């Protein structure tokens, strides 16, 4: 069974009752959202969720 990524600082990671993986950012402001960064991501498996979180973190660094 897959597990959610353990090292997602600034994110709350959980698994739904249906078995889907979710993560939501703890701190989020309007400027970041306007730059196209997502507050919440979801995936079928832990590896995909980790990749989505990493992509969102890259977007934050590019778009303050």
Instruction: State the DSSP string of 16-45.
Output: -TTS-EEEEES---HHHHHTT--SEEEESS
pLDDT of residue 39: 92
4 pLDDT more than 70: no
pLDDT tens digits, 44-53: 999 999 999 9
At 9-52, the pLDDT tens digits run 789 999 999 999 999 998 888 888 888 899 999 999 999 999 99
Return the SS3 of 22: strand
pTM above 0.95, yes or no: no
């Amino acid at each position: 069974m897959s597990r959610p990524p353990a090292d997602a600082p600034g994110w709350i990671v959980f698994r739904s009752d249906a078995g889907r993986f979710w993560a939501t950012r703890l701190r989020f402001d309007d400027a970041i959202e306007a730059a196209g960064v997502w507050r919440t991501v979801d995936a079928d498996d832990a590896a995909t969720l980790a990749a989505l979180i990493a992509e969102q973190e890259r977007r934050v660094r590019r778009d303050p």
